[in-house]
Amino acid sequence: MNESKDFNQDFSLSKEALERVKILLKDEEGSYFRISVLGGGCSGFQYDFSFDKKPKDDDMIFKEGGIDYLIDKVSIDFLRGSTLEYVSELAGSYFKIENPNATANCGCGTSFSI
């Protein structure tokens, strides 16, 4: 596991996303918020958000705004320069990644291609 020393160049959270993750972590005491990229989805890759009790060997630990979150080394290659946003609309609330590396995004907002 590696601690990210310069998270702003690798990945960041918007103010809204940071506040939402803080709320979620209160219910998941002792856990880390995990952001990862999985194969699949209608555009080739999909974003995944989950919780883990402890980091894995290939995880990078990002420290931002008083929280720690995890991104594995494979996923960070797809996410470099991205920002996690939290969108609250009349139809619902959800996390969305603004990814400058994506060449196409699915209408669902959780799938992308490079």
Interval 40-58: pLDDT, tens: 766 678 889 999 999 999 9
* 8 Å CB contact between 99 and 113: no
Residue 110 domain flag: no
CATH of the domain at 91: 2.60.300.12
What number of other Cβ atoms are within 10 A of residue 76's Cβ? 21
Residue 86 domain flag: yes
Give the three-class secondary structure for 102: coil
User: How high is the pLDDT of residue 84?
Assistant: 94
Look up the domain containing 65 and give its range: 2-104
Residue 109 domain flag: no
Split at pLDDT 50, 70, 90, the class of 21 is very high
Interval 92-107: pLDDT, tens: 888 988 888 776 565 5
d(C-alpha 113, C-alpha 43), whole Å: 5
Give the three-class secondary structure for 114: coil
Name the region of 63 (left: φ>0; alpha: ψ -120 to 50; beta: rest).
beta
The alpha-carbon radius of gyration of the chain (Å, integer) is 13
Residue 61 domain flag: yes
Residue 83 domain flag: yes
Number of domains in the chain: 1
Residue 112 domain flag: no
Structure token digits, residue 82: 């991205």
Between 32 and 102, where is the model more confident? 32
- Predicted model pTM: 0.81
